[in-house]
Amino acid sequence: MPLPLRTRLKWLGYAWQDVTSGNSEARVPPKRKTFIGGGDFIAVGDAFFGTLKRHGLTPEMDVLDVGCGQGRMARPMIDFLKGRYEGFDIDKSGIEWCQDQYKDVPNFTFHHADVFNARYNKTGTVAAKEFRFPFEKNSFDRIFLTSVFTHMFKGDLENYLSEIARVLKPGGKCLVTWFLLDEISRQSQHPVMNFAYEVDEVSRTTVKSNPEAAIAFDLDWVRGVYEKFGLKIEDIEHGKWGRPESVYDLQDMIIAAK
Ligand SMILES: C[S@@+](CC[C@H](N)C(=O)[O-])C[C@H]1O[C@@H](n2cnc3c(N)ncnc32)[C@H](O)[C@@H]1O
């Protein structure tokens, strides 16, 4: 089936679900307007909120959500967080939607960053490897990125990890999801996450013509980058993509402290 027709049918399916589900919950985007991937918007956000609490999130903390998309991870926190939530993303429509949806939540702020990405912001004017986060050093107790480094290149995420290390408070933690290549996950038979194509010496992609669709990184190289920027890896939760028996989500997650 040609792609445009398949895309149109998918959209129609989503539009039908929007109409029939009657799901108009606050701060949940209509399914036909989501661009952050499949899965249940509410369930995925709630599960990650649980993960944040499991790793010590408390109400008075200040948090940064890098690549916040349409606020999937912000939504479950609004009645919990008394500290500051800051989210930024390169997709302007998502940020404008969040700014509107959260206009009555004074401690939640969303920013647009005009950073280039071939999948999410083709007209972006700033290179990800040069982008400086718009925050002072030592600003946040928790920084998280869900399904963001899985769409970025080596040089970009080295810069982002150095920025994370800069704006994280001493003792603060970052929780980042990845596709990590090690001796086990390299053997993965996952039907979609197969990372068949080499991008460079430390990363591989599922789509040769559009690598930013999904990128996996060599775990030993990733460990070296964390160490270089003074981030101490405390735990790695290996996801189902590379270990089908995993109790965790699809992607891997690294929890590190400054
Ligand atoms: C799969 S979506 C995930 C969104 C959100 N983190 C979530 O889990 O709901 C990937 C997001 O990363 C954002 N993104 C891609 N490159 C980025 C960059 N260099 N800086 C910030 N966000 C970026 C995209 O615009 C998109 O919103």
Whole-model pTM? 0.92
Query: What confidence tens digit (pLDDT) does each residue in 34-77 have?
Result: 888 878 999 999 999 999 999 999 999 999 999 999 999 999 99
Distance of alpha carbon 256 from alpha carbon 236, whole angstroms = 9
Q: Classify the C-alpha dihedral 28-98-248-62 as positive or negative.
A: negative
Nearest residue to 142 via CA among 85, 70, 211:
85
Does ligand 1 come within 6 angstroms of the Cβ of 90? yes
| pLDDT value at residue 1 | 45
218-256 pLDDT per residue, tens: 999 999 999 999 999 999 999 999 999 999 999 999 999
What is the amino acid identity at position 97? Answer: W
179/215 Cα distance (integer angstroms): 7
Dump pLDDT digits (tens) for 138-163: 999 999 999 999 999 999 999 999 99
CATH superfamily of 34-257: Vaccinia Virus protein VP39 (3.40.50.150)
The domains of the chain are located at 1-32, 34-257
Nearest to 89 by CA among 63, 107, 66, 109: 66
The response to whether residue 51 sits with its C-beta less than 6 Å from ligand 1 reads: no
Residue 2 pLDDT exceeds 70? no
Task: Give residue 89 CA to ligand 1 midpoint distance, Å.
Answer: 6
Q: Is any ligand 1 atom within 6 A of the Cβ of residue 152?
A: yes
Q: Which pLDDT score, from 0 to 100, does residue 9 have? A: 55
Percentage above 70 pLDDT, the chain: 91
